[in-house]
Amino acid sequence: MAYGGTKFELRGRVYWPRTPVERLQHFCPRFCPWPDCPAHHAAGRPTGFRRHGSYATRRRPAVPRFRCAACRRIFSRQSFAVSFYLKRPELLLPVAAGLQAGSAQRQIARSLGCAPSTVTRLSARLGRHSLLLLARSLRHLEGRLQEPVVLDHFETFEFTQDFPFGIATPVGRHSWFVYGLDPAPHARSGARSPAQRARLAARPLRPRRGGYVASSSRVLRLLLSLRSVHRPLDLVSDGHPAYDRAVQGCGRPAAVRLHRFPNPPRGPKGAPRSAAAIARDRALFPVDALHALLRHTAAHHRRETIAFGRRLDALMERLFLTVLWRNFVKGRSERRPDLTIPAMRLGLTSERWSWRRVLARRLFPGRENVPPTWRDLYNRNWTTPTLPFNTRHRLHQAY
């Protein structure tokens, strides 16, 4: 079967195999896994790979090896697996599921009998994999986006509430598909005590990278690249001025129709909603539902919790995993039950995916068309200066 080829990419569907590569009887590489090899970017028919024996592990009796004719280097079937280089590959699935089941990392480690740092590392790998898989899905939507998109920022913080940031979450009005994520670090607002002000002044500065406006502009650029050429992009927002400024600054204001639903004043808890409040809630429902889901399923985004995210990069990795789960794994509504998934509404797939299927293949960053911000997040370049260590992701082989 073609992996990353075009044979199965007809009618806008993402070709994504059901069987994990580790279980394939007759595996045939389609490209070289070494990123600096000319055969790495090959697509279509496989050429220039010869069998080069095999090796045995405790789990698999014979893992086939191959030699690349272009670079003369050797690789194995395992180079194409998400579990590549892992000592405990069996942990990937339960960790992915546990991260979306409201568990914090130490709780997952306790249940699975592994070190908490193992869960941290797997969470990062799962996040990077989800980011690339989402980028690949978006490639299939280019020129096909017709539904209105609801855009709002999800508020959270890294390490301490002194370092807040919003995360842009564009959600399809009808499909509920999450089209991406984009962080927007901003200054802490609200009243602060003198002690809090002194503590904040002593903290190292962190780059703002344009805050809400730049974040909204990046999302707008992404959405415009997906927009159907026959109609303008309908963008629904809560009236935050950043969205107006992003639309004005996008260079193609005629290509975007901005629908504003400002947050109206609301009475005391339990008071009936005004007509304006009902209209706002109806228009922004898909994004409000996503934010409620994030607060409900991700332990570090709960209100009243001692779990919290330490660094923006790691938070974003875990959120990409959540978005992938939202788009491809979780049914739209479990209460009704509506077991279709957002990606089915967009024609990206014909069925729900299991975690096993999500992790069926490894993706290579050099072969995917990834937005620049996402590539920075993939490499862990949005560092948290207040932390003593900020390791960038520079691994090629261990990925």
* Residues of the shown chain interacting with Zn ion in the complex, contacts defined by CB under 5 A: 32, 34, 37, 39, 68, 70-71
Phi–psi pair at 166, nearest 5 degrees: -100, 155
**Residue 20 DSSP code:** -
- Minimum CB separation of residue 51 from Zn ion in Å reads 15
CB 39 within 8 A of CB 71: yes
What's the count of helices (H) and strands (E) in the chain, helices before strands?
A: 12, 8
- Minimum CB separation of residue 35 from Zn ion in Å reads 10
- Minimum CB separation of residue 38 from Zn ion in Å reads 7
Specify which residues 176 forms β-bridges with. Answer: none
Q: Which of these, 241, 258, 265, lies nearest to 153 by C-alpha position? A: 241
Q: How far is CA 110 from CA 99, 116, 157, 296, in A?
A: 13, 8, 26, 21
Q: How far is CA 102 from CA 131, 310, 317, in A?
A: 21, 17, 16
Q: Which is nearer to Zn ion, 35 or 116 (CB)?
A: 35
Query: Which conformational region is residue 240 in: left (phi greater than 0), alpha (psi within -120 to 50 degrees), or beta?
Result: beta
Q: Which is nearer to Zn ion, 32 or 236 (CB)?
A: 32
Q: Which is nearer to Zn ion, 32 or 226 (CB)?
A: 32
- Minimum CB separation of residue 32 from Zn ion in Å reads 3
Q: Which is nearer to Zn ion, 84 or 159 (CB)?
A: 84
- Minimum CB separation of residue 361 from Zn ion in Å reads 18
DSSP string computed for 90-153: GGHHHHHHHHTTT--HHHHHHHHTS-HHHHHHHHHHHHHHHHHHHHHHHHHHTTTB-S-EEEEE
- Minimum CB separation of residue 375 from Zn ion in Å reads 23
- Minimum CB separation of residue 68 from Zn ion in Å reads 3
Q: Which is nearer to Zn ion, 69 or 187 (CB)?
A: 69
The two tokens of residue 273 are: 């909603």
- Minimum CB separation of residue 45 from Zn ion in Å reads 16
* 242 vs 245: CA distance, rounded Å: 5
Q: Which is nearer to Zn ion, 70 or 289 (CB)?
A: 70
- Minimum CB separation of residue 85 from Zn ion in Å reads 18
Q: Which is nearer to Zn ion, 39 or 122 (CB)?
A: 39
Q: Which of these, 130, 122, 125, 141, lies nearest to 226 by C-alpha position? A: 141
* 47 vs 50: CA distance, rounded Å: 9
* 41 vs 298: CA distance, rounded Å: 36
Q: In the β-sheet with 74-76, what is the strand arrangement from edge to edge?
A: 49-55, 63-68, 74-76
CB 339 within 8 A of CB 331: yes
Q: Which is nearer to Zn ion, 50 or 336 (CB)?
A: 50
Q: Which is nearer to Zn ion, 75 or 355 (CB)?
A: 75
